[in-house]
Structure 1
Amino acid sequence: MPNYVTDITTAADLVSRADRILVIGCSGGGKTTLSRRLGARLGVRHISMDRDFYWLPGWVKRPKAEEREMIAAAVAEERWLMDGTGASTFDLRMPRTDMVLWVRLPRWRCLLGVTTRWLAWRGRARPEMAPGCPERLDGEFLTYIWNFERRWAPLIIAGIERHKPEVPVLQLKSHREMRRLLDLLGAPA
């Protein structure tokens, strides 16, 4: 069982003192928006797994060896805030992580989030995505979201337990909780 922190005030204190923060969760839940805002408040560089490591233009997946090399270099830095779930790279990221924020919104909220995002950005690459990767919404992606909690949450829990069971984990289950965390951390730096 991960080291869950249930009090958001305690979690905000841990976040404010953490040098390396990992933000994980299902697509459409608000990981990237939260990460961008947290990075501004804490004065920490926001690293997006999608934008910075996973994707090349045209939705071409970066070769795995190159991706892992880039992630290893990034996590070696002294301070970072990284958003992206990718449990297959927990072996690189988790040992260096001081705090995990798990955006764990209900399925319907994540589906609404990706649909709203698609309507706003369809045909264009959003700033949080790699250049040349226009926003898309297809059955495979919707199925991934639909099955996320059942399929991926157990792998996330196992990855945390395997690579750093003592790391504090705050589960954020609503946008209200995300706003509360940001409010507790104060104005952007």
Structure 2
Amino acid sequence: MRRVLVVGPCGAGKSTLAVELAQKLDLPLFHLDKLNWQPGWIESSREQLIERIEEVISGESWLLEGTYGSTLPQRLPRADTVVYLDYPVSLCLWRLLKRIRHWRGKVRPDMTEGCEERFDLSFFFYVAGWRWGPGKRLEERLAPFMDKVIRLKSPSATRLWLAGL
């Protein structure tokens, strides 16, 4: 594993896993949120984001955390491993609420400086509808690459897999 993607619903624990996995595999870690968001929650243009992603994936080794489904066509062919945290949405929503409570008004380590954690109702509904929208599209994009996908269905399965590396 030298070129790794970590994908899944918001609140699944992608960032936490990515930090641990990058250390274990000695890979440079990149968070898509940091590549996309500018201070004050200003979103980069699609062109800027794609350019930043291309710069990362042109390297020989990397770990890129974040789903950002519209950018998967650029990333999937170059990745040698895709770790898919396919956790229940109810768990992700619970974790999202815990994250907001813990980080509210502060910047998470995986986020751009100047983007303080906050509650966003539309984001909450986005996660709640994961299975019918973003998750379904993710499944379609991953389908041709299933030979490199490691699908983990629970935190305990993730811990077992990680311990076995």
TM-score interval for Structure 1 and Structure 2 normalised by the shorter chain: over 0.9
Runs of 4+ residues deviating >3 angstroms: none
Question: What SS class does the counterpart of residue 145 from structure 2 fall into?
Answer: coil
Aligned to 1:179: 159
2:146 matches 1:131: no
**One-letter amino acid matched to 1:138:** D
Deviation string 1:8-28 (CA, Å, 9 cap, x unpaired) is: xxxxxxxxxx21111100010
**Is the CA contact (8 Å cut-off) linking 1:23 and 1:102 kept in structure 2?**
yes
User: Which residues of 2 match residues 108-127 of structure 1 at below 5 A?
Assistant: 108-127=90-109
Question: Please, what TM-score do these two structures have when normalized by structure 2?
Answer: 0.95
Higher relative contact order (CA 8 A, sep 6+): 1
C-alpha RMSD over aligned residues = 1.1
Equivalent of residue 40 in structure 1, options 14, 23, 39: 23
2:59 matches 1:77: yes
What is the aligned residue count?
165
Equivalent of residue 2 in structure 2, options 19, 22, 27: 19
**Is the CA contact (8 Å cut-off) linking 2:9 and 2:135 kept in structure 1?**
no
**Is the CA contact (8 Å cut-off) linking 2:57 and 2:78 kept in structure 1?**
yes
**Is the CA contact (8 Å cut-off) linking 1:97 and 1:167 kept in structure 2?**
no
Equivalent of residue 107 in structure 1, options 75, 89, 92: 89
Task: Give distance in 2, aligned partners of 1:160 and 1:111.
Answer: 23
Percent same amino acid among aligned pairs?
33
List runs of 5+ in structure 2 lacking aligned partners.
Answer: none
**Is the CA contact (8 Å cut-off) linking 2:4 and 2:63 kept in structure 1?**
yes
**One-letter amino acid matched to 2:6:** V
Question: Please, what TM-score do these two structures have when normalized by structure 1?
Answer: 0.84
